[in-house]
Amino acid sequence: MIYWIHFLKVLQHKWFVIVAGVRVGGIPFWRLLFHDMSKFSRAEFGPYARKFLADSTPEIEVAFGLAWLHHENRNGHHWGHWIARVGRYSGRPLPMPRSYAREMVADWWAAERSYGKSWDMHNWLVENVPKFDLHQETLSSVYQALSDIGYVETVQEIMRRLR
């Protein structure tokens, strides 16, 4: 049962990402179609379903940690994908290509619609974006994408919080 619910939730999220992504613009359409496709892989499907729909156990948490890493490793629309692990920039964010930053904004917007049940993500943005580890160029792309969809005041508030 939880697997069926999870399957439908992922499909619904994918649909909202297409709707949001077209409105944000600047994202290749094929990427909106393939968005989060790895959630249907063996490595992610079961662990995600159990994390969100079953009671937590240490095994479920570790399995989800691995599934999340698998997801970030394969999906450039997550900022964690762009954090260097070794070398000169280890532990630091590298600039996300613009279209991935825009896809990330579409993902946030779609998630708000799926979980918050409305398209208004102002509060979520103000609360969360300042905590994310984003390269300055990525932040500019995010501000641009948010401004393009009408979140100009939200961008100003995020800037104030980051000062």
**What is the sign, positive or negative, of the torsion defined by CA atoms of 100, 34, 149, 156?**
negative
- In the complex with Zn ion, the residue whose CB is nearer, 36 or 112, is 36
Residue 131 CA, distance from chain mean position: 14
Q: Pick one of 10, 13, 16, 36: the residue that binds Zn ion (CB under 5 A).
A: 36
112 forms part of the interface with Zn ion (CB under 5 A): no
**What is the sign, positive or negative, of the torsion defined by CA atoms of 141, 138, 31, 43?**
negative
CB of 82 to Zn ion, least distance (A): 13
44 forms part of the interface with Zn ion (CB under 5 A): no
Helix then strand count (H, E) for the chain reads: 8, 0
| Nearest one of 108, 110, 160 to 130, comparing CA atoms | 160
- In the complex with Zn ion, the residue whose CB is nearer, 70 or 98, is 70
Choices 11-19, 36-44, 54-62, 154-162; region in contact with Zn ion by CB under 5 A = 36-44
Residues that bind Zn ion (CB under 5 A): 36, 75
